[in-house]
Amino acid sequence: MSGWAWWASTDAVGRAVALLLLGMSVASWVLILWKLWLLPRAARDLQRAVAAFWQAPSPEQARAAAAAPFAGLPRPRPRQRPGPGDAGLFVPAKLR
């Protein structure tokens, strides 16, 4: 059975599943190609940061030099540890 014959003989659920699988496949390939482009750039930035760190004359300048290639990246927000009443679950501060 060819693809067009299958498409003509299937119902809406079959078509929706086929379109969903096609969309997820395209999204996966976009992510794979984006990572292939991004990872060599990150490796170069890391090499530059390590070299700048070890060539800095003081620890403060070393920290600033190592952070310079990553200055444009967003910094993670600090997370609060769960308290005794949280039963070990992480509860964001906004929900408390």
pLDDT digits (tens, 9 = 90+) for 44-71: 888 887 887 888 888 888 888 777 776 7
Q: Which SS3 state, helix, strand or coil, does residue 59 take?
A: helix
pTM of this prediction exceeds 0.85: no
Query: What pLDDT sits at residue 64?
Result: 81
Query: What pLDDT sits at residue 62?
Result: 80
Query: What pLDDT sits at residue 56?
Result: 83
CB 72, CB 52: distance < 8 Å: no
User: Which residues does the chain have with pLDDT short of 70?
Assistant: 70, 72-74, 76, 79-96
Query: What pLDDT sits at residue 77?
Result: 72
Query: What pLDDT sits at residue 27?
Result: 96
Query: What pLDDT sits at residue 78?
Result: 72
Which are the contacts of 52, defined by CB distance < 8 A and separation ≥ 6?
62, 65, 66, 68
Residue 68: name the closest of 56, 57, 76, 80 by CA.
Answer: 56
